[in-house]
């Protein structure tokens, strides 16, 4: 592996966490103890892992963390009643309802029920609107993590053609909105491609920066890219492997095929993945400060 080509998400995530830890200490000096409450409904194995990782990250940074586990059979009304209590609890600064939810619960209804001032995912329509308008309350975790990686490695987006393959509400759409803003770490020309895009290869070959976020294992090949491209792989997919686990994690990019060809690339695992939790920690501290009429940059 050519180390000079690798964008190390673990390293960038640690830099973010170091910054957040200092911010937490400064908030505590002001009498503010940032607290994140995570609600987990059901027994989804991946969700269980993510929730544990979030709890551990909070503990290391001095953020208070509370996980509320609910049974798979929990009704929508029961969940909304819990969120209502969390919305009005002034000691709780951030609320995160782990997705996916059981089929009897309307995810969008739950997202919209969370107090937007406590929405650490930036999923609430109010916060999405603020992002689109260029005045975000918080930043969407994974797209913000992508931008942090680019900033850390001094990869400019100014005037660059960023092609995003994937149009989800979690990555594709918010990443596009983040990167077209008029600010130093945006100002890109953004194309969003997806499963209905005609002649996808012709578009991806134009990318100065390609963000792969379609959720299809090893879909992006070197033939789809130009050699000057920087590749950010957001995908995390399990494929069969002859090892103890019986699987291995790969991205949406065929890493071994693409890495020797392009300028820079994020690996999977160890690329964008660690950034999502790091930016969640940042959002938790940001909302805690804002709810107490404090600005982190002024602490």
Catalytically annotated residues: 54, 98, 121
φ, ψ of residue 62 to 5 degrees: the values are: 85, 15
| Nearest to 292, CA basis, from 113, 34, 23 | 34
Q: Is 293 exposed, middle or buried (0-12, 13-18, 19+ CB in 10 A)?
A: exposed
Pairing of strands 209-212, 230-233: parallel
Angle at 170 between CA 169 and CA 175, to 5 degrees: 90
**Dihedral of CA 159/160/161/166: which sign?**
negative
Q: Where are the beta strands (DSSP E) in the chain?
A: 35-41, 64-70, 94-97, 161-165, 189-193, 209-212, 230-233, 237-240, 247-250, 264-265
Query: Whose structure tokens read 């092609």?
Result: 163
Angle at 282 between CA 280 and CA 288, to 5 degrees: 105
Q: How far apart are the first and last CA of the chain?
A: 42
Number of residues that this document lists for the chain: 299
3-state secondary structure 203-259: HHCCCCEEEECCCCCCCECHHHCCCCCEEEECCCEEEECCCCCCEEEECCECHHHHC
**Dihedral of CA 145/191/165/45: which sign?**
positive
């Amino acid at each position: 592996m050519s180390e000079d080509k690798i964008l190390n998400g673990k390293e960038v995530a640690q830099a973010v966490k170091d910054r957040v830890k200092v911010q937490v200490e400064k908030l505590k000096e002001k009498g503010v103890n940032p607290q994140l409450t995570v609600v987990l409904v059901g027994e989804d194995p991946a969700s269980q892992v993510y929730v544990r990782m979030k709890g551990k990250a909070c503990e290391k940074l001095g953020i208070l963390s509370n996980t509320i586990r609910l049974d798979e059979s929990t009704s929508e009304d029961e969940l909304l009643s819990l969120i209502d209590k969390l919305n009005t609890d002034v000691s709780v600064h951030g609320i995160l309802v782990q997705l996916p939810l059981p089929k009897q619960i309307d995810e969008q209804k739950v997202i919209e029920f969370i107090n937007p001032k406590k929405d650490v995912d930036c999923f609430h329509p109010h916060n999405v609107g603020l992002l689109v308008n260029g005045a975000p309350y918080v930043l969407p975790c994974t797209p913000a993590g992508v931008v942090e990686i680019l900033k850390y490695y001094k990869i400019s987006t100014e005037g660059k053609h960023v092609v995003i393959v994937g149009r989800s509400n979690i990555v594709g759409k918010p990443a596009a909105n983040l990167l077209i803003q008029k600010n130093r770490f945006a100002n890109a020309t953004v194309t969003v491609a997806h499963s209905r895009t005609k002649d996808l290869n012709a578009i991806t070959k134009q990318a100065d920066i390609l963000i792969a976020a379609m959720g299809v294992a090893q879909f992006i090949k070197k033939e789809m890219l130009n050699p000057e491209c920087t590749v950010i792989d957001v995908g995390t997919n399990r494929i069969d492997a002859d090892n103890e686990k019986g699987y291995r994690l790969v991205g949406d990019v065929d890493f071994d095929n693409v890495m020797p060809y392009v300028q820079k690339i994020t690996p999977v695992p160890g690329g964008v993945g660690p950034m999502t939790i790091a930016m969640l920690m940042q959002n938790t501290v940001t909302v805690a400060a804002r709810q107490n009429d404090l600005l982190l940059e002024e602490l």
